[in-house]
Structure 1
Amino acid sequence: MSLPSLPRRGALGALAALAGGLAFAQGSAPRTVRIGYQKSSTLIAVLRLQGTLEQRLAPLGVSLSWHEFTSGLPLLEALNLDNLDFSADVADTVPVFAQAAGARLSFVAQEAPSPTAQAILVRSDSPLKTVAELKGKRVGFAKAAGAHYLLIAALEKAGLSFADITPAYLTPADGRAAFERGAIDAWVVWDPFLSAAQVQANARVLADGTGLASYTRYYLASTRFAQARPDVLNVIYAELEKTGRWVKAQPKEAAALLAPFWGLDPAIVERANARRSYAVRAATPQNIAEQQKIADAFFAEKLLPRRVDALDIGLFQPQG
């Protein structure tokens, strides 16, 4: 099932590239697990660059194919359409939209909250000083991203509703361009785009997620794949956990590795990584409690087609 009435353009090229790929469930050799990721998928990027997952999964007869997406929503759409087997981390809002479209997905892991790793930005010369002053303004962000929920929560705290602003649904790249040329009054975005805008465009933070949005990121698999190959997911989970600890313990080395892959200065990457927890843990009913609050907020703003039970999703339990 496709995600109705949601932006699809960013996914079309990637889905076309995937169409001829070998799905793991097809049983052909070599068996290929299709992994989707986005630019903010730090731990998956490290594992890809180091070749760790290929080495760990080779004894299971598994190879990998990698597929980049512009943001989390088209990534989960591809997962829902069975064009991917595993999704690297997406913001907590994204699964809610997928659930509203009837997707059958399973949480494999989550990162502990990183509320300062996303923020509402204005240009350095902007007269805007508070979120309340966004009333009537044009605000850019990626639809269904964590930034979308941050904006809703910040507006509510300021006594405004989503209807009080003019939304501009933009990919991070398009958002940066619109922000710099003044086509939008504010831009809501996450790291590493956030850090890049602060350093390169001298952007000013109007509000981050502190006290507003936890910004928990989730790793997901199709329920079909989670049920068929828990052994593969156990390996991925273990390597994500280990890599998260390495990135935090070796910030300069991690930044040097990621900088050319992301096309950013190492100092920007290190700044972005400092704001992410990278503490990988199992997704449990207790750990995903905020998902219902997020779902209810989007439904209240008439941005979801139906009410969502945030706990109605598979929860993979890693085995040590």
Structure 2
Amino acid sequence: MGQIVTFGEIMLRLSTPEHSRILQTDIFEARYAGGEANVAVSLAMFGHQAHFVTRLPENEVGEAALQSVRRYGVSTDYILRGGDRLGIYFLESGASQRPSKVIYDRADSAVSQMESNMVDWDAIFDGKDWFHWTGITPALGEKPRKAVIAACKAAKNAGVTVSCDLNFRSKLWTEEEAQATMNPLMEYVDVCIANEEDAQKSLGFEAGDTDVEGAELDDEGYSTLARSLKKEYGFDTVAITLRESFSASMNGWSAMLHDDKDCKEPVRSTRYEIDIVDRVGGGDSFAAGLIHGLLTKDNTQDALEYAVASSCLKHSIPGDFNLTSEEEVEKLVKSGGSGRVER
């Protein structure tokens, strides 16, 4: 198994119970979550040595966040302590035609005030195989932006494979800010993970006539997008998630992958129809599954099938973390997933 580093923010997630609205609830369910933390937990569940880099306040809330990833086997050796607060996000879980909503309360969080020289990136990447980051981290401000650049440079110098999930967040920065930052960072990336919105808003590339909200996918548009991204930035691998949003409760879920290992054209995965329990973290579980697949599988198609099946299972689990084992994912890949009770 691999030695994998992720870098980003972990937050306190406060979600409404049983699809209630923020306006009506008197209680919130508390969990800890964040894109790169989610990936680290999933990879640890698959048997890899996952290392999470972040900065947490030195108080009980920070300690609880640290323990939330440590309990699933993530190494916390590179987590810094300091800063005034942990970021928070509020989640109102949608249902049917009412979408889920996220409200951020993360200004001046500990990681957003993290200087790049607080971390010895060269030491962190010594002996490691993979580095994963997302577009969320540089969106947090100038200091984490510089830290991402320093981390990417150190990873490349160490010969470490670098993956990036573009993860555009309109509540954190504008398209212009995202493209000005993300385009130069792509020179360090080997594996790019995106959906059609991320590619358009973070990098300025469009995916044909796809209408996600109308649940219509333009396969040729996605294939062209994958080829264009690979050609423009020289990525080894481009993975694009394909979500058909019939409603907040029902989605079609599949993905496309383009690399030079086994195919000259993008390959498409199995498609799953998902009755959603919790959609948040679905993209992160795909990223973790893809990293696992690329590290352990013999061919492109198998790596993609593992990633999509992993993410499919995550949609059935409350919270951001994908608490599934390698065995469970493999079983879904082979069986197609009847959902029958195991006795």
Give me the TM-score of the superposition, normalised by structure 2. 0.26
Q: Higher RCO, 1 or 2 (CA under 8 Å, sep at least 6)? A: 1
Give me the TM-score of the superposition, normalised by structure 1. 0.27
